[in-house]
Amino acid sequence: MIRLLFKRLMLTLVVIWGVTTVSFITMHVLPRDVASAMVGPNATPEQLEKFRHDWGLDRPISEQYFNFYSRILKGDLGTSIRTHRSVVTELVDHFPATFELALAALLFGLIMGIPLGVFSALHRNKWFDHFNRVYSLLGVSIPNFWLGLLLLFFFYFKLNVFLPGHLSMHISLKRITGLVVLDSILRGNFRAFVDAVRHLVMPSFAVGLAVTGYISRQIRTSMIEILESDYIRAAKSRGIPFSVVLFKHALKNSLIPTVSILGVLVGRLLSGAIVAEVIFAWPGIGYVAYLSILKADQPMILGFTFFVAIVYSIVTFFVDITYGLLNPKIRHAMR
C-alpha cells in the first residue's frame, strides 16, 4: 500500500514538474516578445526595459528557469495585468465559487445519474433504457454555453424564477467559506439561502447535465455486469428480497467503478464550470479567466492553468487512492 502510494505520489510530482515546465516554455521560449505581451501594447521602451529587468528576462535561460521555480515555490505566480492584484490572491478569492458550482453540479449528476443508470440496467433494451441512452448523448452533445443561454432566456427572462450571478446585490452576507449556500446556512440567513439557491440552479444544471450522462452510463454498464454475476444469483436464490439485493449488493459494488471515472468527471466539471461561469456571470476562476482572455492578461491565464492543473492532479491522486481502498481486488493485491 505504502509503495503504491509512494509511486502514485511520485507520478503526481513528475506531472506537476511537467506542468510547470510547459508553463515556463509557453511563457519564455516561444518566439514571441513576452515583455510586450505582458506590459500591453501601449508600453513605452522604458517600461519594457524595466519589466525585462524586474522579471529577469535579460538573464540567461537556465537562470530564468531556476528563478521561475523559486518564485513558484514561494507561491508567487506574478501580477494580473487586468486588476494589478497578485494572481494567487485572485485565484484564492474566486476559487470557492467555482468549487461551489462544481460540487452542486456533481451532486446533481449523482442524484440524477444513479437512479437513471439503475433503472436502465433493470430494464435493459426496453424503452426506458433507450430513452436514457438518448438523454445521455444529449447531455454530452449539448454545448453548455448554448444550454446556458436557453436557460437564461426561459427561467430568468420569461419566468424570472432563477437568476444569473452569485448573490443579489441587496442581500448582504458575510463571507465564511465563500460558498454562499453554505455561508447562508452557517449564518442562519434564510433570505440569503433562498437567493443563493435561485442563483445556483441554472449553472449547476448546465454543468451537471453532461455529468449525469457519464454517471448513468457507467452505473448501467457495471450494474448489468454485476446483476448477472453468481453472487447476485446466489443471494436471490437464498430468498433475500430483491430490493435488498439491488441496493445492498449490486448498487454498492457498481459504485466502485464509478469512483474511477470521477477523475474524468472532475475535468469535465472544471471545463463546464468555466463556460457556465461566463454565461451566468458566476464569479469563479473560469469567469476571471474569461475576463483575462479578453484583456490578453497572460500571467493570469498561466496562473489559472497552473492552478487548475494542480487541483486536478491532487483530485485524481485522491480518487486513485480511494479507488484502491474501495476495490477489494486492488486492496488485497496491495497487502
Q: Can you tell me which of 137, 161, 244, 325 binds other proteins, judged by CB under 8 A?
A: 137
Q: Which of 28/52 has CB closer to other proteins?
A: 28
Contact flag: residue 146 with other proteins (CB under 8 A): yes
36 near other proteins, judged by CB under 8 A? no
Binding residue for other proteins, selected from 5, 8, 26, 95, defined by CB under 8 A: 26
Determine which residue in the list 308, 319, 320, 323 makes contact with other proteins, applying CB under 8 A: 308
Using CB under 8 A as the criterion, what x/- string covers residues 70-89 for binding other proteins? --------------------
All residues at 6 or more sequence positions from 306 whose CB lies less than 8 Å from its CB, including other chains: 19, 20, 23, 72, 77
Please check whether residue 51 is in contact with residue 298, taking contact to mean a CB–CB distance below 8 angstroms.
no
Using CB under 8 A as the binding rule, whether residue 261 contacts other proteins is answered as no
Number of residues that bind other proteins (CB under 8 A): 52
106 sits near other proteins (criterion: CB under 8 A):
no
Residue 150 within binding range of other proteins, rule CB under 8 A: yes
Q: Is 298 one of the binding residues for other proteins (CB under 8 A)?
A: yes
Closest CA to 320 of 9, 62, 65, 3: 9
Q: What is the SS3 string spanning the chain?
A: CHHHHHHHHHHHHHHHHHHHHHHHHHHHHCCCCHHHHHHCCCCCHHHHHHHHHHCCCCCCHHHHHHHHHHHHHCCCCCECCCCCCEHHHHHHHHHHHHHHHHHHHHHHHHHHHHHHHHHHHHCCCCHHHHHHHHHHHHHHHCCHHHHHHHHHHHHHHHCCCCCCCCCCCCCCCCCCCCCHHHHHHHCCCHHHHHHHHHHHHHHHHHHHHHHHHHHHHHHHHHHHHHHCCHHHHHHHHCCCCHHHHHHHHHHHHHHHHHHHHHHHHHHHHHHHHHHHHHHHCCCCHHHHHHHHHHCCCHHHHHHHHHHHHHHHHHHHHHHHHHHHHHCHHHHHHHC
Contact with other proteins (CB under 8 A) among 4, 5, 8, 11:
11
Q: Is 14 in the site for other proteins (CB under 8 A)?
A: yes
Question: Which span sits near other proteins by CB under 8 A: 70-78, 110-118, 236-244, 308-316?
Answer: 308-316
Q: Does 103 bind other proteins (CB under 8 A)?
A: no
Q: CB count, 10 Å around CB of 266?
A: 19
Choosing from 278, 283, 284, 319, the residue that interacts with other proteins (CB under 8 A) is 278
Maximum CA extent, the chain = 84
160-179: which residues touch other proteins (CB under 8 A)?
none
The nearest distance, CB 56 to other proteins, in angstroms, is: 20
CB of 310 to other proteins, least distance (A): 9
Nearer to other proteins, 149 or 333 (CB): 149
Q: According to CB under 8 A, which one of 50, 82, 133, 236 is a site residue for other proteins?
A: 133
Q: Based on the shown chain and the rule CB under 8 A, indicate whether residue 121 belongs to the binding site for other proteins.
A: no
Residues that bind other proteins (CB under 8 A): 11, 14-16, 18-19, 22, 26-27, 30, 32, 130, 133-134, 137-138, 140-143, 145-146, 149-150, 152-153, 157, 266-268, 270-271, 274-275, 278-279, 289-290, 292-294, 296, 298, 301-302, 304-305, 308-309, 312-313, 316
